[in-house]
Amino acid sequence: MFPKFKWSALVGLACAVGILSHAIAGLSLSPSASVQLVAEPPIARAYPLEAEATEYLGSGQYQPPIRLKLRAQDASGKSLQDARFHLQILTPAPTPWFTTDFPVVEGTKLLDIEGDAPTGELQMQQVFPIRGNYQLRVSVTPKLTNAFAPITQNLELAVPENPLKWQYFPFVLGALLAIGCFGGWIIGGRQVIQAGEIAPRRVRLLLSGATVLAIAALLFFNVSAELAGVRTHIAEEARSNSNTSSISQSQGVKLELVGDSGAEVGRAASFQAKLTDSKTNRPLNDAILSIKTTQLENNWVAFAYQGIPNAQGLLAWQEQFFDGAPHKIEVKASPQPHSKQQFPPLEVAREIDVEAIAPPMSVRLIGLLSFTGVLTVGLVVGLWLRRSRWQET
């Protein structure tokens, strides 16, 4: 009897373990809460910002920033109500060999913002300055305790390179090769060396010109690096001593914009919009705050967001001004239709001076060596062609 009982117990235990494992596997494969990302226009048709972007393109159409929609949903696909988002956008990793238009921006933080989403959806507009894979770190927490489990998710946004650059790149390489071939053809020609000369006159002229260009390039690199270091030091001092505010108030409501008055490329500047009752100093959170950042030289929008302040009447964010030009930040506050305290729309604005930072020395040297290498290849080809012709004749 005992062996039969032992065998039955083992079979029952194995069945229980199998059922439990199947249940656990089913739970792990079941859908869970997540954050869905939608880009308009589709990211495959969106290109990074050009360094000399203007308000109007050649087609006469305005180039708006990409609209991002982040939607928090539960396992059944239903939007999570009364959610709070924390979003960080990180730029692609550095690419020293095939650098982008803004090498200082590579591997930095582009945006950091927190906002309440009553409907579970966060929307914004953002310009992406360079090509590559952007990392979006999203955290969603409930405003009400234990309303839903917090969500932490990493999303990726791949911005392709502008196809015009790939079309122009062969022409640049062809021009460099042609210049190198021409120089090699001249140097490889049969030339007479006069008494006391170490090389023919045309060869000496080419070598002298190349030496002058090399010296000028090195001087330019060194001076640019020194000036960039001075500008960085000045910008750090200005940032440490600047935390100014802009205020607008009407009918007992005060809107205040607090933050850095200066910034530099490669670093995120901090800002904060605060809405309060000017009489009681009580925070107001039943209003709509609209934020817009505009580059002033060419008048294009770099960032835009519309949301509601938190329980303290605050809306805080950090953004990077990747273009070394003055920017303007505008914040507009307007009451919601169901707000208890109605007030006329308030607006505050501030201009931000942005310090442009020179590319790293390593990036510039790699670019110089790349172009020099292409010229050298053309030079060798020109010499070979000229010597081949000698042999034929």
Nearest in space to 186 (alpha carbons), one of 172, 200, 197: 200
pLDDT at res. 101: 74
Query: Do the Cβ atoms of 285 and 374 come closer than 8 Å?
Result: no
- Cα 354 from Cα 320, distance rounded (Å): 10
* Residue carrying the six token digits 């308000």: 55
pLDDT at res. 390: 63
The residue ranges of the chain whose pLDDT is under 70 are 1-31, 50-63, 163, 167-168, 186-245, 361-364, 390-393
pLDDT at res. 56: 42
Query: Do the Cβ atoms of 124 and 303 come closer than 8 Å?
Result: yes
- Cα 383 from Cα 142, distance rounded (Å): 72
What is the 3-state secondary structure of 52-64? CCCCECCCCCECC
Q: Is the dihedral of CA 264, 370, 176, 214 positive or negative?
A: positive
pLDDT at res. 23: 47
Query: Do the Cβ atoms of 179 and 376 come closer than 8 Å?
Result: no
pLDDT one-digit tens code per residue, 92-141: 988 877 777 788 888 899 999 998 888 889 999 999 988 889 999 999 99
